[in-house]
Structure 1
């Protein structure tokens, strides 16, 4: 009996003694059968967590190996500072001391980052409210904070962590940051260049030594990610111009002792310039060799161009995908003739096996319903893999505007070599907005705006919006809702209710107004993946509200047809948009055609408007843009075209350099009347603002504008066109797109109203 008591009395083990017992047989304990397991010291952790983690159950035989494993398992949870195992009789007691829990994380002295960004970075290293705390975690958090600041070129940033214990074994953490001044690039050198000047090569970089706009672009702040991007741009520049064996041998980043200036040195080896001698195809091309040859972008007789090689292999892979070969292997192998500086490109292809899509999985859509994404897909489950349809599907989901990222990945199905799964990963962005703001333009002075918009109501993909504007010349109240899939075939439906008050831009102090109230319904029918045709109908009432200086044309129309006119317009329209961006386009084309035909009421007319925009990228920095707009209207049933439906021209959005809306016919007192015929032509050359690097949101442009408005009884006479030329600035500002233009009329006539400097937030082309 005494021996038994001594054996049990020796069964108290900490983590250290448990490992000693396991290592030294002299300290080994005789096993015993566990009749009960108890836990002591818990405050917030559930007892079930303990029982689920240890490899011991009631009825098991306890031994030192299981005791050591239990202690290791509990420490691995990261929840405890200390763990002990104690035995009293055949009862095993687990005694734990919990780590403190983080109650709050706060930051002091942070100006470069908002606190939400820093809290997210802390969560990424495992430090967040409600999680266990230890000093090692605090050290990792400090290093992560310093890394965030180094990415912003703040190398002198210091971080001090303050841990404040509070009740219930919790702690508050405060990271106090002394940010210091950012280190700035004062030198950039490219060494080893012979074919191109150093200034040309440095001009390719987004990073530079600073300029008068560096406070905005921050281009003189060093970041490793930016340097890598610049080096890739440099590599592409050479590989596009025949330097097949170009390489970057090393880069040196030297920071001054005071951590305020940085010097960059890039050492390169250019190699020889190679010309493509020929292009050969090898492998299996599905007996469609001619089709694949037509896709070859590589041009024999011209310098080797890596972009052309990449475009060719990608086009081949995509074309194989169109026939279901998701795993096609395409490789371009250069055969170099160094004696003659020639290179032959051999494109080798192996289609591998054909596959079909087993399942399409959607992830990342916490708010948006699956069906909103799936209905945009043109690749279907249980159908052959089709690369074109997958790309089109991805683009259609991206064009919804609900997501910041849309990625489609192909995954092989284990055990099924002819099947793949598509994983659609999206990152949602806020789609609702409440806007309260004020605007100022050279034409309309101060205007107030209010808007509530939700582009993805309840995750359904529907749009709902309310817009209010109180400008000097146009006041609007618009309620609008759009169901993009009113039918399962993809026909959209838009309902509008609106109330507007308008008057010409130049009214010489008159207080007359045109008051328009109406409602309408419009359906959008997708006739192809790029073309949508719109059909609609509405009911509209326009009232001419008399006042001082009302134009004689308005009075004449009102005296003949009344001050209030009703119209029942039928609408048909068409649009196609292939631009790469709606806000800052660099390539692509946009077209729209809208036609209104009033078939009922007092006002009978037809009105059409066509616009086309074309963007031509000259290179990474420079873009040519062209815009053309034609407007035409005619009265029906023997009535003239209603004066309140006239087009206007002049100013931003049409012919810059002339006062807003003042071109075209005028009445006897000089008020602008507009007209039913409009022609506008614009050309712009756009470039980055000097000192702004390659920032596409801040650009300068030169332009030439031509246009005019013509009356009902006038013909479109190009000899009467007004023209202007000038300089401008465009900026995608937090308040919206801002365009400022200084224009000099180069063709004007007597009586034209000139306004050389004009600007507006939110204006179009």
Structure 2
């Protein structure tokens, strides 16, 4: 016999309705009054609003039954009865208890605030009516949360404790158990590629000595789905157009401690593309579209090439105003010969223009801050490229967790659409207190207060403090990214710096530089920005003991205090895929500083070029070159405090920080007016870390040096080193550790094979 279970609320309503009809059948009458009895917390208005009859209406059994159902549906009452007293209806209710407190016992994996929020979504929270069915749902939701962390052995016991005034306390006692680990992953049906090759495409792994950090041995369905897509992409990009994943089995051990994964694949034949055909309507611009094709006849089928071609086609259609264009890939297959003709079928649909651009989700940021980044205008033809650029520009502001643009047709029209850009705000303020330690500067303290979106205006305000053995800085900065309506930015910096060059003799001297600067940024393309500005800074040389001769000469010429008024001009383009762990793209910057007034006259220039090449999806080759040059003007010497320095992380590793270049007779490394750095790095995955880009090994070769004004740049003066290192984006900040050995050096050079830095970007 099959047991039929009813929800308590529904069952009570049905029983009440049937009893009402059986025992309280009455002749219709005109209502003179309605009374409610048994209320404790609920408002009488809630009861009256749920009843389908009012004073003066004709009361019937059907209306009474409907009233009972409506009152039970509110979820506020445990029991409801309707009694008839003459021409008066008496509604007798018994309220559900209200949850007074929700408690958790034994929860270590999750923050309790997050669990409280998750349970509120299923109806369990302080001040809400208690329902046993909802408590059961909450228990299942808790278990679901733990399953996402691979805690399959979790047990949850719900305890309901009555409290005074018809309230209850709900306690969830959790026994989390041990994390369930992946014991084995097997792939069957593969012939073209080995199992180890396919497993290397997956982020999920079996246990290893680094899985405590990567957690790649903890199963999650979403991770497995992503890995299956990675395997599929691997095949589809190597000619296996008909590849399929036939089945996936996930088995858990009886003790819920081990998981075994079995993946069965069907490869199918390997296809070579013999030609590309265009079918459908291409607006008479077939040659324009053919130039966008990345599919290469004579080579194996590659899904990436097909996808990029289709995207390029739809983007081009969108640029012509066809927002709903469709491009389908329909290959013509010759299975016997393993050949395929790529057929691209285009349906441009209709051309439309944008009626209105709406902004939603910005509770703090002003509309104008978002709208001024838009390159798609209202009442203009729909342009997919401009819309994508608009979305990217809003995203690059850094004020939002998510930025999405939705295109909707305007009802009643065939050629109009509305765009709605929806953003999700995120905190843009940053209070940071931290400490760092480097092999060169020992202990350093950093502190900053930054607000990237002050009062929702899009302006930046920040205060930064840095202390170290050789350099100390306090900077107050503000940036208005739209100082003018056409996007010219303006920034102010007020700073106070003290520095002390690396010396073998010690001493009590220091160089103190207070100053201020203003800078403007002019975007002349969507990706390039030119900067120019002006500043004023005063340099004071304090102390005499151990003071390098070059600083003594500077003081003799310019006095103990010297004023500089530099103008700055710069250009920057950043096309890297990441600023912290790049794998592809290029970065370039040029900066010129020209001292035009004050006591000093000089020109200081610096150019940097970086290129990252993805050798595979796991190996990256990076190049960096930096060239600096400075010279005195108007017959005055180049200021010693504008010298370049070299050696250590960021320049030529294997040599002590700041130790390259001319050495003063006092033993101080004062740097020079010319610098060249050449760096090459090969990044590889850390063993056991899978595809995690936050933890990587690298091998490097560095070369470079610093030269003084009277020295010529010669190859024989170059220092060079090679070594290995670890790059880790740690919870306390970026860390870079390198161990290398110079293979081109001189006897007087200061060698430092092991170098590291914590708490600063690299």
Which TM-score band applies after superposition, normalised by the shorter structure?
over 0.9
How many Å separate the matches in 2 of 1:28 and 1:729?
A: 84
The residue that corresponds to 1:4 in the other structure is: none
Once the two structures are TM-superposed, the CA of residue 376 in structure 1 deviates from its matched residue by 1.1
Residue correspondence of structure 1 range 300-699 to structure 2 within 5 A: 300-506=297-503, 508-699=505-696
How many Å separate the matches in 2 of 1:620 and 1:126?
A: 45
Q: 1:495 to 1:227 in 2, by over 3 A?
A: same
How many Å separate the matches in 2 of 1:256 and 1:162?
A: 29
Counterpart contact for 2:13–2:72, Cα < 8 Å:
no
Once the two structures are TM-superposed, the CA of residue 16 in structure 1 deviates from its matched residue by 4.3
Once the two structures are TM-superposed, the CA of residue 362 in structure 1 deviates from its matched residue by 2.5
1:735 maps to 2:748: no
Counterpart contact for 1:507–1:549, Cα < 8 Å:
no
How many Å separate the matches in 2 of 1:700 and 1:506?
A: 33
Q: Give the secondary-structure state (helix, strand or coil) at the position aligned to 1:383.
A: coil
2:271 to 270, 274, 282: 274
1:61 to 58, 62, 71: 58
The residue that corresponds to 2:207 in the other structure is: 210
How many Å separate the matches in 2 of 1:429 and 1:527?
A: 29
Q: Give the secondary-structure state (helix, strand or coil) at the position aligned to 1:417.
A: coil
How many Å separate the matches in 1 of 2:480 and 2:42?
A: 49
Counterpart contact for 1:21–1:28, Cα < 8 Å:
no
1:704 maps to 2:701: yes
**The 10-residue stretch of structure 1 (361-370 or 493-502) with the greater mean CA deviation from structure 2:** 361-370
Once the two structures are TM-superposed, the CA of residue 679 in structure 1 deviates from its matched residue by 0.9
Q: 1:584 to 1:37 in 2, by over 3 A?
A: farther
2:37 to 32, 35, 40: 40
Q: 1:421 to 1:40 in 2, by over 3 A?
A: farther
Counterpart contact for 2:434–2:759, Cα < 8 Å:
no
**The 10-residue stretch of structure 1 (14-23 or 364-373) with the greater mean CA deviation from structure 2:** 14-23
| Cα offsets for 1:472-507 (capped at 9, x unmatched) | 111111111111112222121111111011011345
Counterpart contact for 2:723–2:739, Cα < 8 Å:
yes
**The 10-residue stretch of structure 1 (376-385 or 651-660) with the greater mean CA deviation from structure 2:** 376-385
Counterpart contact for 1:18–1:64, Cα < 8 Å:
no
**The 10-residue stretch of structure 1 (579-588 or 564-573) with the greater mean CA deviation from structure 2:** 579-588
How many Å separate the matches in 1 of 2:358 and 2:129?
A: 35
How many Å separate the matches in 1 of 2:133 and 2:740?
A: 63
Counterpart contact for 1:322–1:388, Cα < 8 Å:
yes
Q: 1:43 to 1:678 in 2, by over 3 A?
A: farther
Once the two structures are TM-superposed, the CA of residue 644 in structure 1 deviates from its matched residue by 0.6
Counterpart contact for 1:109–1:176, Cα < 8 Å:
yes
Counterpart contact for 1:515–1:544, Cα < 8 Å:
yes
Q: Give the secondary-structure state (helix, strand or coil) at the position aligned to 2:330.
A: strand
The residue that corresponds to 2:168 in the other structure is: 171
| Cα offsets for 1:295-354 (capped at 9, x unmatched) | 111111111111111111111111111111111111011111112111112111111111
The residue that corresponds to 1:133 in the other structure is: 130
| Cα offsets for 1:121-149 (capped at 9, x unmatched) | 22332323332221111111111111121
Counterpart contact for 2:580–2:761, Cα < 8 Å:
no
Once the two structures are TM-superposed, the CA of residue 545 in structure 1 deviates from its matched residue by 1.1
How many Å separate the matches in 2 of 1:140 and 1:587?
A: 47
Q: 1:240 to 1:86 in 2, by over 3 A?
A: same
How many Å separate the matches in 2 of 1:612 and 1:759?
A: 23
How many Å separate the matches in 2 of 1:332 and 1:689?
A: 39
How many Å separate the matches in 1 of 2:163 and 2:515?
A: 63
Counterpart contact for 2:332–2:343, Cα < 8 Å:
yes
The residue that corresponds to 2:5 in the other structure is: none
Q: Give the secondary-structure state (helix, strand or coil) at the position aligned to 2:563.
A: strand
Counterpart contact for 1:652–1:763, Cα < 8 Å:
no
**The 10-residue stretch of structure 1 (607-616 or 382-391) with the greater mean CA deviation from structure 2:** 607-616
Q: Give the secondary-structure state (helix, strand or coil) at the position aligned to 2:521.
A: strand
Once the two structures are TM-superposed, the CA of residue 557 in structure 1 deviates from its matched residue by 1.1
2:18 to 17, 20, 29: 20
How many Å separate the matches in 2 of 1:167 and 1:646?
A: 77
2:289 to 267, 278, 292: 292
**The 10-residue stretch of structure 1 (662-671 or 158-167) with the greater mean CA deviation from structure 2:** 158-167
Q: Give the secondary-structure state (helix, strand or coil) at the position aligned to 1:755.
A: coil
1:89 maps to 2:86: yes
How many Å separate the matches in 2 of 1:170 and 1:524?
A: 63
Once the two structures are TM-superposed, the CA of residue 27 in structure 1 deviates from its matched residue by 6.3
How many Å separate the matches in 2 of 1:699 and 1:121?
A: 36
How many Å separate the matches in 2 of 1:216 and 1:108?
A: 27
The residue that corresponds to 2:244 in the other structure is: 247
How many Å separate the matches in 1 of 2:49 and 2:353?
A: 43
Q: Give the secondary-structure state (helix, strand or coil) at the position aligned to 2:513.
A: strand
Counterpart contact for 1:22–1:65, Cα < 8 Å:
no
| Cα offsets for 1:605-659 (capped at 9, x unmatched) | 1111121222222222111111111111111111111001111111001111100
Counterpart contact for 1:653–1:764, Cα < 8 Å:
no
Counterpart contact for 1:15–1:84, Cα < 8 Å:
no
Once the two structures are TM-superposed, the CA of residue 365 in structure 1 deviates from its matched residue by 2.2
**The 10-residue stretch of structure 1 (399-408 or 76-85) with the greater mean CA deviation from structure 2:** 76-85
RMSD: 1.8
Q: 1:485 to 1:757 in 2, by over 3 A?
A: same
1:283 maps to 2:253: no
Once the two structures are TM-superposed, the CA of residue 191 in structure 1 deviates from its matched residue by 0.6
**The 10-residue stretch of structure 1 (511-520 or 26-35) with the greater mean CA deviation from structure 2:** 26-35
Once the two structures are TM-superposed, the CA of residue 590 in structure 1 deviates from its matched residue by 1.7
TM-score norm. by structure 2 comes to 0.95
Q: 1:754 to 1:373 in 2, by over 3 A?
A: same
Counterpart contact for 2:503–2:667, Cα < 8 Å:
no
Counterpart contact for 2:436–2:759, Cα < 8 Å:
no
How many Å separate the matches in 2 of 1:541 and 1:20?
A: 93
How many Å separate the matches in 1 of 2:102 and 2:503?
A: 58
Q: Give the secondary-structure state (helix, strand or coil) at the position aligned to 1:85.
A: strand
How many Å separate the matches in 1 of 2:161 and 2:521?
A: 61
Q: Give the secondary-structure state (helix, strand or coil) at the position aligned to 1:657.
A: coil
1:79 maps to 2:67: no
How many Å separate the matches in 1 of 2:483 and 2:164?
A: 57
1:123 maps to 2:120: yes
The residue that corresponds to 2:6 in the other structure is: none
How many Å separate the matches in 1 of 2:361 and 2:618?
A: 34
The residue that corresponds to 1:9 in the other structure is: none
- The count of corresponding residues between Structure 1 and Structure 2 is 751
Q: Give the secondary-structure state (helix, strand or coil) at the position aligned to 2:684.
A: strand
How many Å separate the matches in 2 of 1:386 and 1:761?
A: 46
